[in-house]
A and B are shown apart, each in its own frame.
Chain A
Amino acid sequence: DTGVSQDPRHKITKRGQNVTFRCDPISEHNRLYWYRQTLGQGPEFLTYFQNEAQLEKSRLLSDRFSAERPKGSFSTLEIQRTEQGDSAMYLCASRRTGDDKNIQYFGAGTRLSVL
């Protein structure tokens, strides 16, 4: 257990529905990252926050995706009008500014299945 919590662990939804995932980083970590991982592939970067500011977004993050970190603590990732191609593991990671930037602590992920 790295200390990064993600909820729920699994989510099954029907195409067209909206889903929201939550990530609670390690308490003193001010940087929070979201990645997506499909079967047989490595994680792909989606976006990251420093405190409550969203500093970078990948081209993978379409208009249907939105991430927030309103108080600089937990973060949510929402997918609107889900599509079957959104089925993947959504991973959250965190670290503290000033620590080694190459070391991120990952949660166990939320596995999304879109039917």
Chain B
Amino acid sequence: LAKTTQPISMDSYEGQEVNITCSHNNIATNDYITWYQQFPSQGPRFIIQGYKTKVTNEVASLFIPADRKSSTLSLPRVSLSDTAVYYCLVVGDTDKLIFGTGTRLQVFP
């Protein structure tokens, strides 16, 4: 199982773009990179996933370089409600999700 490494915490101000980088040096060919968001007292919520290059949805963008050993979650123009923990997961041929400790994002007014 690929292990991921991401910053423990990040601070930002409202309206700024936030980029959270995740390292996954041992990613396997069949693995996908998946990001979840968790608010206090709630379960995690899927936000985006990708295999390579760039993926964008209404919530975020995910950038994955050609070697796939890292990925960057980009949150455009964050607001106070984006304050949460963000988890980077590498998911392969398994039916369980393996979470790390995540990145705690604090957005200030």
A104 touches B42 (CB 8 A): no
Complex: chain B residue closest to A45, CB-CB = B96
Please tell me which stretch of B16-24, B43-51, B57-65, B71-79 contacts chain A, meaning at least 4 of its Cβ atoms lie within 8 angstroms of it. B43-51
Contacts of A92 in B (CB 8 A): 43
A98 interface residue (CB < 8 Å to B)? no
**Interface footprint category on B:** 20 to 34
B49 touches A45 (CB 8 A): no
Q: List 10 A-B contacts (CB under 8 A).
A: A4-B43, A31-B95, A43-B99, A91-B44, A93-B43, A106-B43, A106-B44, A106-B45, A108-B42, A108-B43
A102 interface residue (CB < 8 Å to B)? yes
Q: Say which residue of B41, B43, B85, B95 sits within 8 Å of A2 (CB atoms).
A: B43
Our count of residue pairs bridging A and B at CB distance below 8 angstroms stands at 61
B67 to chain A, nearest CB (A): 21
Complex: chain A residue closest to B94, CB-CB = A101
How distant is the Cα of A57 from the Cα of B2 in the complex, in angstroms?
20
Taking Cβ atoms with an 8 Å cutoff, the residues of A that contact B are 2, 4, 31, 33, 35, 40-45, 48, 55-56, 91-93, 100-109, 111
Q: Is the interface of B mostly helix, strand, loop or mixed?
A: loop
Taking Cβ atoms with an 8 Å cutoff, the residues of B that contact A are 32, 34, 41-46, 49, 85, 87, 89, 91, 95-102
How distant is the Cα of A102 from the Cα of B45 in the complex, in angstroms?
11
Complex: chain B residue closest to A47, CB-CB = B96
Query: Could you say which of A4, A43, A91 has the most chain B C-beta atoms within 10 Å of its C-beta?
Result: A43
How distant is the Cα of A104 from the Cα of B49 in the complex, in angstroms?
12
